[in-house]
Amino acid sequence: MAHATVLQLVAILVLGILAQWIAWRIRIPSIVLLLAVGILAGPVGGWLNPDDLLGELLLPTVSLSVAVILYEGGLNLRFRELQNIGGVFLRMITLGVVISWVIGAVAARYVLGFPWAIATLLGAILVVTGPTVIGPILRHLRLRGRLNALLKWEGIAVDPLGATLAVLVFTVIQADAIRSGLAEAALGLGMTLGAGIIAGIAAASLLVLGLSRYVVPDSLHNPVSLMLMFAAFAVVNSLQEESGLLAVTVMGITLANQNRVSIRHVVEFKETLSVLLISCLFIILAARLQPAELSGLGRGHIAFVAIMIVVARPVSVLAATWGSMLTWKERCFLSWMAPRGIVAAAISSVFSAGLVTVGYSRATEIVPAVFLVVFVTVLLYGASAVPLARWLGIVQLDPQGILFVGAHPWARASAQALFEQGVPVFLVDTNPENIRDARMSGLPCLHGSALADETQEQIVYDGLGKMLAVTPNNEVNSLACLKYSEIFGRRDVYQLPFALSKEGRHEVVSQEHRGRLLFGRGLTFSGLDDLAGSHPRIKKTRLTAEFDYGAFQKEHGDSVIPLFVIDRYGLVHVRTVDDPARPDAGDLVISIVRHQSEAGPDPELPATDGTEV
């Protein structure tokens, strides 16, 4: 029996991570695959029953996992992201929530035929747009700017608010009279907000105090962070049901917006933990969809889900964004992005059982109705997010553009060559003369330090998918790779190789603290700068079947250094030490020409068979 339990637990983990990896490989939202795996393992295959596997620990495990996910989400919320959209965000989590609640309650009453008490509670449960779904979708789309900020903030902030709203409605229903119920609900709201905010700030302050005074060793930073988060969650939840979610969210936001200590390592650990938990939770969620529970679902339930998707969400978004600076494309995408997740599924089970005990027999229908909304919205939004974003033109999947950290002469020449081929580029440099020359060449650029948060936020990321750190300073290059790996991923951040010290040793930064090494061994900044000279020349050669890369190398030898390859599909390949991509016929090779004093008397370097672009 124990072996079977261990096998099922490990299978959930293995299948979840495999689904995440496959989704990354085939470029679809991971939620879709996770739900499919859960359905195959549960209702279809019948070998996974989460209720039998975890028993009474199922809901507490889900609650604690959701707490970690909301905590991690709060750690990624910066107040500066709400600049110019703070009003829209506040309206979305107030006016938008109320509108969605009212429409959901009315639809549950007249479409599903629920009593007003159950209909009102169901509407409150379904106002949430969980970060367990929104987060993976945003990571897959790589949205930037205000649309990303709005969806991220809404997904994290609405979860505790929705849970609190459901608790207040449940409190009113349990009371004998509306007046006393409202009074009790108002008291509960005050306790929830007060206890949640105070506990969250207190836990965050205690952690910051411990880290700033170095009374917590480095090895315990993450364990102590989790300990305080779980403690705040449990204590506040014991005072007011479901209010612990607000406490952990406030704790995360407080830590993210303080400047006394660095929490980067804490954030990285929680992000890894959140991916692990999301992978398991969605399989467990889908596996709970037992056919017997869903047998009562019919056309009315489908109509109810349709109303929540095509009426409740668009109306609430349009009302909340009325008069704002958001474009119609951004409003359209916001209106079509409200998937429900783990929180809705978890609290529906709790409140359904509670209403049954006070005489509402139809409360058992809440759970399958909520699960249907979760299932349909996750599948629909997860599958349609990519094509809709593409159609609206608000995102470019697998963007090929390059961010250059450094705008010195040969970096500008390389960026210019890419730009002329239709590849988006953006240059950042602290040297005003370099930026002035880049601007005069018509290249998008920004004066400032790429390591500064303000500069990072001002960069226009449209079409950018890679970052090249090409400054003369190896340490700056490494730090830039660390910073921008959060945006582009470690696979797509690059830096120049390290120079040899006087003692003959490489000035090597450890692998986990640097990006992929550019172009070739020994091609350091000083080496490339000497090679290019004061007036760098870039050569662009289109390879053919007759003039392939072998012929190209034989023709030019070491007089040119290939930097980039644009293949026949328009994909940009950066040549690196670990992957010196070999171009094929039809590919465009972009090379830097060795300075005449190095290369000899033939500055034009004509290609006999290749096509010069």
pLDDT band at 500 (very low <50, low <70, confident <90, very high): low
* Residue where a domain terminates, one of 373, 392, 411: 392
CB 93, CB 274: distance < 8 Å: no
Task: Judge contact between 288 and 51, C-beta under 8 A.
Answer: yes
Instruction: Average the pLDDT over 543-566 and give the result.
Output: 80
What's 496's domain CATH number?
3.40.50.720
Give the pLDDT score at 37: 86
Of 354, 370, 392, the last residue of a domain is: 392
Residues 493 and 357 in one domain: no
Decide which of 133 and 284 is more confident: 284
Are 382 and 451 part of one and the same domain?
A: no
How does pLDDT run across 100-128, given as a tens digit for each residue? 999 999 999 999 888 888 888 889 888 88
* Mean pLDDT, the chain, integer: 80
Mean pLDDT score, 570-582: 80
Q: Average pLDDT of 234-251?
A: 82
pLDDT at position 107 is: 93
CA neighbours closer than 13 Å in the CB half-sphere of residue 283: 29
Distance (Å, whole) CA 568 – CA 111: 54
Q: Please count the other Cβ atoms lying within 10 Å of the Cβ belonging to residue 259.
A: 6
The reported pLDDT for the residue numbered 105 is: 92
Name the domain boundary from 392, 415, 448. Answer: 392
Statement: residue 452 has pLDDT above 90: no
Residues 265 and 151 occupy one common structural domain: yes
Q: Are residues 384 and 437 in the same domain?
A: no
pLDDT at 193 over 80: no
pLDDT band at 377; cut points 50, 70, 90: confident
Predicted pLDDT of residue 607? 40
Planar angle of CA 45, 51, 54, nearest 5 degrees: 110
Question: What's the pLDDT tens digit per position in 213-223?
Answer: 888 888 888 88
Q: Are 152 and 76 in contact (CB under 8 A)?
A: yes
Q: Among 186-195, 476-485, 491-500, 539-548, whose mean pLDDT is lowest?
A: 186-195
Asked whether residue 226 carries a pLDDT value surpassing 80, the answer given is yes
Q: What is the pLDDT of residue 216?
A: 85
pLDDT at 294: 60
What is the mean predicted confidence (pLDDT) over 259-285? 78
Least-confidence region, from 404-408, 472-476, 580-584? 580-584
Q: How many residues does the chain have?
A: 613
Tokens of 404: 């250059």
Same-domain status, 115 and 186: yes
| Residue 290, pLDDT score | 66
Range of the domain at 342: 2-392
Which residue has 């509960």 as its token pair?
A: 188
Longest dimension (CA), the chain: 97
Confidence of residue 512 (pLDDT cuts 50, 70, 90): low
Q: Is 583:543 a contact under the CB 8 Å cutoff?
A: yes
In this structure, the answer to whether residues 386 and 433 fall within a common structural domain is no
Does residue 185 sit in the same domain as residue 249? yes
Question: Residue 192 belongs to a domain with what CATH number?
Answer: 1.20.1530.20
Provide the pLDDT confidence category of residue 182 given band limits of 50, 70 and 90. low
Query: What domain count does the chain have?
Result: 2
Q: What is the mean pLDDT of residues 538-543?
A: 84
pTM: 0.70
Query: Which of the pair, 396 or 558, is modelled with greater confidence?
Result: 558
Pairing label, strands 538-542, 464-469: unpaired
Together in a domain, 341 and 248: yes
Task: Judge if 377 and 415 occupy the same domain.
Answer: no
The per-residue b/e assignment along 411-444, b for 16 or more CB within 10 angstroms, e otherwise, is: bbbbbbbbbeeebbbbbbbbeeebbebbeeeebb
- Spatial separation of the C-alpha atoms in residues 139 and 385, rounded to whole Å: 12
- Per DSSP, the three-state class of 412 is helix
Paired tokens of 102: 């009212």
State mean pLDDT over 263-274: 74
pLDDT of residue 499: 66
If asked whether residues 111 and 240 sit together in one domain, one would say: yes
> How many Å separate Cα 338 from the centre of its chain?
16
Instruction: Indicate whether 602 pLDDT > 60.
Output: no
> pLDDT: is 582 or 88 the higher one?
88
pLDDT higher than threshold 50 for residue 603: no
The rounded percent of the chain whose pLDDT value lies above 70 is: 86
Q: Is the pLDDT of residue 556 over 80?
A: no
Round to whole Å and give the CA distance between 407 and 409: 7
Q: Are residues 454 and 582 in the same domain?
A: yes
Residues 377 and 449 grouped into a single domain: no
Q: Classify residue 56 by burial, with Cβ atoms within 10 Å: 0-12, 13-18, 19+.
A: exposed
Q: Cα 167–123–252 angle (5° rounding)?
A: 55
For residues 96 and 89, the answer to whether their CB atoms sit within 8 Å is: no
